[in-house]
Structures are given as C-alpha cells and as structure tokens.
Amino acid sequence: MPKSSEHNLRSAILASKKSFYFTAFVSLFINMLMLVSPLYMLQIYDRVVASRSEETLLMLTLIVVVLFIVMGVLEFIRSRILIRVANSVDARLSDRIFTTMFTLANRFPSRATSQPLNDLGQIRQFLAGTPLFAFFDAPWIPIYIAILFLFHPWFGIFGIFAVIIVATLTIVNEKRTKDRIDSSNKMFQSSQNFITSSLRNSEVIEAMGMHEQIHYKWKDRYLTFLHDQSYASDEAGVWSNLSKLSRILMQSLILGLGGYLTITSQVTPGMMIAGSIILGRALAPLDLMTATWKQFTSARLSYARLQKLLEDFPVLDPPTPLPDPKGQITLENLTIVPPEGKLPSLNNLSLFIGAGETVGVIGPSAAGKSSFARAILGIWKPVSGTVRIDGAQINHYDRSFLGKHIGYLPQDIELFEGTVSENIARYAAPDPQKVIEAAMLCGVHDMILRLPQGYDTPIGIGGASLSGGQRQRIALARAVYDYPRIIVLDEPNSNLDDVGERALVNAIVELKKRSITVVLITHRPAILGITDKILLLREGILQLYGKKDEVLAALTQKNISPSESNPS
C-alpha cells in the first residue's frame, strides 16, 4: 500500500496558512495602531502644550480612545484566530496520533507512551498562546527603527544598538537553556513511563515489599528532571530579567539622548517622549521571545518528536476492499523477530490451516507459541515470509474490517474501563442479544447476572474488581462475540476451574459446528481432544504438524508428553 503524505504535522499546520496570513494582516493594523500612543504624546507636547488649546486636546483624546478600542478589538480577533488554528491542528492530528500510538506500542512495546498526545497539547498551547504574537510583531522592528531615524539619526542608531543588545540576550538564552530543557523533558517522560509501568504491577510491589526500591528508582529520575528543569528555569530567568532590564534601560537612555538633542534644539520634547515609546515597542517582541523562550523550546521539541513519529509511521492509503474472510490461514516461510528482539521466535515456518479447522498449538515454554498467535493475527510483522488469510496477505486487509472477523484471547488479559456489556461488544454499540449469546456460549451468563448490575456492571480499569477466572471468561466472550471467522485463544484455560474449562470446551465445540477457524494454544493435554490438528513448536521451529491422532501417536512413539512436549 502506498504511503500518503496527508496528516503529517507540517501539512496540518500549513493547512491553516490562510489563517496565519490573515493573522499577519491583522497584526499589520495592530502594529500601526501601536504608533497611536507615541504620536499622541508627540501632539500633546508639541502642539497642545504650546497652543494651550483645550479643543485640540479633546479631539486628539477622543480619536486616541476610538483607535485604542479598535486596537483592542483587533487583538481579540487575532487571539481568536490563533485559538481556532490551534484547535484545527489538534483536530487534524489527534486521531492520527492516537492510532499511531497503538502502532508504536505493538511494534516497540518499551516505547509505548501517551507522550505524543502531550506533545500535541504543547504545540496547541503554543499556537494559541501569546508567545506566537512575538513572531508576528517582530517584522515590524525595522519599521519602528526607521521611524526613529525620521525623528533623528542618533535615535535610529541607538535603536539599532538596543535591538542588537536584546536580540543577543535572546540568542544567548536559547544556547544556554536548550540542552537542559531537552534533558529535563526526556527525564520527565522517563519518570512518567516508569511510574506508569510500576502501577501496573502494584500487587507484586505490595506483596514483595518493593516500595522503597521502586520509589528510589523513580525518585532518581524525577530528581534529575527537577534539577535540569530548575537549572533551565533559573538560567532562563536570568536572561529574561536581563532582557527586561535592558529594554527598560534602553528606553530610559534614549530619553537621556532625547533630552540632550532637545536642549540642543535638534528634536522637540514630543519627539523625545515618542522616541522612547517607539523604542520600547520595537524591543517588545524580542523581550517577549526571551520571556517565553522556554515555551518555544518545549513546543519545538514536541514538534520534532511528533514529526519523527509521524514520519516513522506514515498514513497508508486504504487497501482495496476484500471479501469477508472464510478463515483459511496460510504461512509461507514465516520468520518472526519479536519487537526490539534480536533472535527469531519463529523460524521459516510454513503450514496451512483450512477454514473451520481447530488447531491445537503445543510446545515448551519459549517455543514461539504466543509469537505464532501474534503472527497470524498480523500484530507482529514478519522479517521474512508471508501470512495469508484466504490467499490474501494479511496486511492487504483493512485492519478495522479484518478485526471484526477475528477473535483474540491473549495470555495477559486486559479488560477495558466500562460495563461488562461494553467489554464483550468490543466497545461497539452493544447488541444485547449478541452479547448475551456470547456470554451463554462461554458459560459466563449466570456469573454475570450475579454481578451487582448484571451486564451493566462497571468493571473498572483492567477489570480489577473481577477474579482472574472471571476476567478470562468475559474476555473469551469478547473473543467469540458475533462469531468471527478466526479465533485465536492463547492459554484460554490458564485461570479456569473445572466448570470454566468445561464451558470452554463446549464453546469450542459450538464454534466448530459453525465452521469457525480456531487456533488453541495450551499446555493442558485434556483439551486437545476437541482439536482437528496439532502443531508442535520448539525453539520457533515446526517439529510436528498434522491430524490430531497422527501427531499424538508420533508424540507417544517419541515418548514426549503433550502437556509440555518435552521428553518425559
């Protein structure tokens, strides 16, 4: 499938370029109106004071009031435009980033994080905030300096000197704080990821008294983040204050220069006051840049991270729609290396599973059984070889379309925050009849009815309020919901008692009657009786594959126990 250039970060921002142009147009009038105050002062000192005309003062004041109201309205419009631009960028990218986060988590589990959404929020805040105003106002600096030259050449020269000083402070601030801000952001992300993963293992930490060790590991990273952030903030504060002081000092010094030029009759008193105000306006964008440089740097880092993420996982053009799968699975010379692994967990595996067949997968620990499940589901991408569903490569199916025809029960069961009914229906709008049918098929209907609110019982994040067996049986009902054509069950009876295992067997028997393809990974030999074929894996290599009776006979002949598929 070809890659699409749509929905990357740069194009999402450039899609609002008309709004940026309009913002620049509005900024043109805002900066023109910024001259109202110095020109008002100029007229007051040079015309009103000299003429002592109250009518002139009144008219000038009324004009100034109206112009300031107009400027306030334009400032409000500019702010509203940028807020909508920020929301527009968020709307264009949030869905894409959400999907990409899960793709990243599947391919590189150790890098799974919600940071991309935080990065998008950082960019949105920058686009909607006051720091961006400095970039729209900065182009007016030469114009303000030119006006100072019109007053007197020494005013213009002094203005250039002042701009160089404040700009230098801005550049120094960037150089001095960039690395520290980058380091603090990385350490904060690392500490957040560590505490999130630790919370998922809170029971182990509580049972084994590991609080101090976990706290020490987290605190080491967190304190490093605080140190770097504090250092960067202190450094930025120094240069920000220097920039502010420099601006105030320059405005005061130009008054002194104006005083000298006034007493030597080279400028008027009004020009002296107006020159100070105009210089302050010329320096304001640079001062704002220095004061908000930390926000700019954080937004830039967020932009770089998001841009790389979206480039690494580009949008793929939707594949040609394929017919509903019947359940036929073909593996052709398949080799799988786990995400971030180096050695293959499946090596050159080729086999065929007919539609409607039930295949038992056995083998010792680390034989590649779970890798086999993830491979045929398309979760892990092969380094070589192909997985085909009904003859079509699995990556040629639209994932959302194919997912409706697949049921999956992993070893590590995760239920989602929501009701029992929502979990069984896979968060789609629950069809009560299908939900109950799936629950009854898995023998979990009566158990659900005993819950406080039955099928409408909230189960909390991860289903923490349920026992391991209850979670496994509800997850099994989710896997068989609406009778998908392919169902993969990875150790589905690991947490089940005898009643639960009988319900599991009955469910698989019913699935066989409906010609649904079932891949059953198990260590328990008793359940192999309902399979049509058995696959024996060892160290990622196919050892035996064929009809159930033939494989069991071969295992008996070799004195191998099906329970662990090791020599007994």
CATH number at residue 483: 3.40.50.300
Both 413 and 553 in one domain: the answer is yes
Q: Is the pLDDT reported for residue 462 higher than 80?
A: no
- Do 225 and 161 lie in a common domain? yes
Amino acid (1-letter code) at residue 47? R
How many distinct structural domains can be found in the chain? 3
Kindly state whether residues 120 and 171 are assigned to the same domain: no
The answer to whether residue 71 is domain-embedded is yes
Residue 34 belongs to a domain: yes
* CATH number (domain holding residue 257): 1.20.1560.10
Question: Strands 517-521, 358-362: parallel, antiparallel or unpaired by DSSP?
Answer: parallel
Task: Give the separation between CA 436 and CA 216, rounded to whole angstroms.
Answer: 48
At 127-166, the pLDDT tens digits run: 887 888 888 888 899 999 999 999 999 999 999 999 998 8
pLDDT in tens, 301-321: 888 888 888 888 887 777 888
Q: Which two tokens stand for residue 365?
A: 């620990």
Question: pLDDT at position 6, please?
Answer: 47
Average pLDDT, the chain: 85
In this structure, are strands 533-538 and 315-316 parallel, antiparallel, or unpaired?
unpaired
Q: For residue 63, how far is the Cα from the chain centroid?
A: 50
Structural domain boundaries, residue 49: 1-108+116-130
Strand partners, 521: 361, 490
Which of 291, 319, 338 delimits the end of a domain?
291
* Residue 307 within any structural domain of the chain: no
- Residue 260 and residue 360 in one domain: no
User: Who wins on pLDDT, 527 or 190?
Assistant: 527
Are 15 and 88 within 8 A, CB to CB? yes
**pLDDT at residue 534 tops 80:** yes
Instruction: Pick the more confident residue, 208 or 337.
Output: 337
Mean pLDDT throughout 179-195? 76
Tokens of 363: 């083998």
More confident residue, 453 or 185: 453
The dihedral built from the CA positions of residue 484, 486, 490 and 493, taken in this order, carries a sign that is positive
pLDDT score of 56 more than 80:
yes
Whether residue 309 lies inside any domain: the answer is no
Compute φ and ψ for 60, nearest 5 degrees.
-60, -40
Pick left, alpha or beta for residue 462 (phi over 0 → left; psi -120 to 50 → alpha; otherwise beta): left
Cβ(331)–Cβ(387) under 8 Å? yes
Dist CA 420 CA 423 (whole Å): 5
**Predicted pLDDT of residue 334:** 93
**pLDDT value at position 419?**
87
User: Quick check: is 412 in a domain?
Assistant: yes
Asked whether residue 237 falls in the same domain as residue 355, the answer is: no
Between residues 369 and 185, which one has the greater pLDDT?
Answer: 369
Residue 462 and residue 386 share a domain: yes
- Let me know whether 413 and 479 are in one domain: yes
> Above 60 in pLDDT, residue 568?
no
What SS3 class is residue 347?
strand
pLDDT tens digits, one per residue of 319-368:
888 899 999 999 999 999 988 788 899 999 999 999 999 999 998 888 88
Residue 233 falls inside a structural domain: yes
Q: Are residues 394 and 531 in the same domain?
A: yes
Q: Do 363 and 510 fall into the same domain? A: yes
- Say what the pLDDT of residue 460 is: 72
Residue 466, domain member (yes or no): yes
123 and 166 inside one domain: no
Q: Are residues 515 and 465 in the same domain?
A: yes
Same domain for 62 and 154, yes or no, is no
Q: Does residue 153 belong to any structural domain of this protein?
A: yes
The answer to whether the beta carbons of residues 281 and 137 sit under 8 Å apart is no
Render pLDDT for 391-433 as a digit per residue (tens, 0 to 9): 999 988 888 888 889 999 988 887 888 889 988 998 888 788 9
Please name which of 376, 401, 409 lies closest in space to residue 508, comparing C-alpha atoms: 409
Distance CA 237, CA 248 (A): 16
